[in-house]
Amino acid sequence: MLDWSQCPAVERVPGKVGGTWLFVGTRVPVKALFENIEGGATIDEFLGWFPGVGRDQVEAVLDHAQASLAGA
């Protein structure tokens, strides 16, 4: 499991969407990005479906995941 606490693009707020990791300032779970990508969506499509999420946030999440998995 990835340690999202070191990624500035996400936050966990007790009581907000069940305390899951969210893109900062939104109610969009980080897992939604990965589920959509796994389903064949592009980043541009994801951003269109979730307009509260910024491209910089998506890039930060993907970079964090890549770095975490490379160090595993």
Q: Which of 39, 57, 38 is nearest to 47 (CA)?
A: 57
- Other C-beta atoms closer than 10 Å to the C-beta of 2 total 15
Q: Are 43 and 26 in contact (CB under 8 A)?
A: no
Q: What pLDDT sits at residue 72?
A: 62
Q: Is 11 helix (H, G, I), strand (E, B) or coil?
A: strand
pTM > 0.85: yes or no:
yes
Question: How many helices (H) and strands (E) are present in the chain, helices listed first?
Answer: 3, 2
The CATH class of 4-70 is mainly alpha
Choose between 56 and 71: higher pLDDT.
56
pLDDT single digits (tens) 41-64: 999 999 999 999 999 999 999 999
